[in-house]
Amino acid sequence: QQQVKQSPQSLIVQKGGISIINCAYENTAFDYFPWYQQFPGKGPALLIAIRPDVSEKKEGRFTISFNKSAKQFSLHIMDSQPGDSATYFCAASKAGRRALTFGSGTRLQVQP
Amino acid sequence: EAGVVQSPRYKIIEKKQPVAFWCNPISGHNTLYWYRQNLGQGPELLIRYENEEAVDDSQLPKDRFSAERLKGVDSTLKIQPAELGDSAVYLCASSQTQTEAFFGQGTRLTVV
């Protein structure tokens, strides 16, 4: 059972554009929703995270939008740069179970 | 501060042979995770330790996989015997807070 569904699988954006990656979850017990960035040959690194008591969180060029009723959340990367080219994973975890359930990943390519 | 350290970075073995991976978590992190990441997929939890205790190992194939965490610090993950389908990147992560996990660079295992 895929508890966190992520789309699109791949994304090509022009430099300066907006990258949008979407995730949907099934388990209403999830209460923590991070996004991880992974470069080739590296482990995933936490980018930004949100809890369901807020609808939006912004850190620099990265914004998470959260829709609790729809059980969806998304990552927006403003002014996308070639250095943002990486694979992005959404994830979720529930209180008491610290392990993360990851989406399948989105490979982002930002063209100069 | 040093991050999560894993070794080896790469390992190629023949099927039916044993293999072991080692992880040194961030100092002071009492929670340690082993994840497996198949090519083009998100990481999937194998086992979670709280100090020395394995508290979540429901996804660990116990017929061939084993893990231990010595004195609540370093950890080893072993596969014996390895199968072709075990080829993947094995990621170790650690955390101190309830949810933010820091990942190592992983060990890429190829079983031939």
- Contacting residues of A for B97, CB less than 8 Å apart: none
Low-confidence ranges of chain B (pLDDT < 70): 1, 97-99
Amino acid B37: pLDDT? 97
Q: Beta partners for B110?
A: B12
Numbered residues of chain A with Cβ closer than 8 Å to any chain B Cβ: 4, 6, 32, 34, 36, 41-46, 49, 89, 91, 93, 95, 97-105
Amino acid A9: pLDDT? 97
Tokens 């370093």 identify what position? B74
- Contacting residues of A for B40, CB less than 8 Å apart: 104-105
pLDDT, tens digit, 9 for 90 and up, residues A39-88: 999 999 999 999 989 999 999 999 999 999 999 999 999 999 999 999 99
Amino acid A1: pLDDT? 54
Alpha-carbon distance A85 to nearest alpha carbon in chain B (angstroms): 15
Domains of chain A: 4-111 (2.60.40.10)
Q: Beta partners for A14?
A: A111
Burial profile B97-110: b = 16 or more Cβ within 10 angstroms, e = fewer: eebebbbbbbbbbe
Yes or no, beta carbons of A99 and B45 under 8 Å apart:
yes
Q: Does domain B5-111 have CATH number 3.90.1150.10?
A: no
Amino acid A2: pLDDT? 64
Q: How confident is the model at residue A98 (pLDDT cuts 50, 70, 90)?
A: confident
For residues A7-20, average pLDDT: 97
Q: Are B48 and B54 in contact (CB under 8 A)?
A: yes
From the candidates B29, B30, B99, which should be mutated to test the interface with A, based on the most A CB atoms within 10 A?
A: B99
Q: Beta partners for B10?
A: B108
Q: Are B7 and B107 in contact (CB under 8 A)?
A: yes
For residues A89-97, average pLDDT: 85
Amino acid A108: pLDDT? 98
Yes or no, beta carbons of B106 and A43 under 8 Å apart:
yes
- Contacting residues of A for B38, CB less than 8 Å apart: none
Residue A69 main-chain phi, psi, to 5 deg: -65, -35
Alpha-carbon distance A22 to A73, whole Å?
A: 6
Cα distances (angstroms) measured from residue B69 to each of A54, B21, B40, B109: 37, 12, 29, 21
Closest alpha carbon to A64 in A44, A50, A52: A50
Amino acid B3: pLDDT? 93
Yes or no, beta carbons of A100 and B43 under 8 Å apart:
yes
Does the pLDDT of residue A13 top 80, yes or no?
yes
Residues of chain A above pLDDT 90, percent: 89
Cβ-based contacts under 8 A for chains A and B? 59
For residues A28-34, average pLDDT: 92
What is the residue extent of each domain of chain B? 5-111
Amino acid A95: pLDDT? 73
- Contacting residues of B for A89, CB less than 8 Å apart: 42-43
Amino acid B99: pLDDT? 66
Q: Are A88 and A98 in contact (CB under 8 A)?
A: no
Alpha-carbon distance A25 to A69, whole Å?
A: 11
pLDDT, tens digit, 9 for 90 and up, residues B11-31: 999 999 999 999 999 999 999
Cα distances (angstroms) measured from residue B93 to each of B35, B45, B50, B55, B64: 8, 10, 12, 15, 21
DSSP state of B84: G
Instruction: Spell out the residues 6+ positions from residue A53 whose beta carbon is closer than 8 angstroms to its own.
Output: none
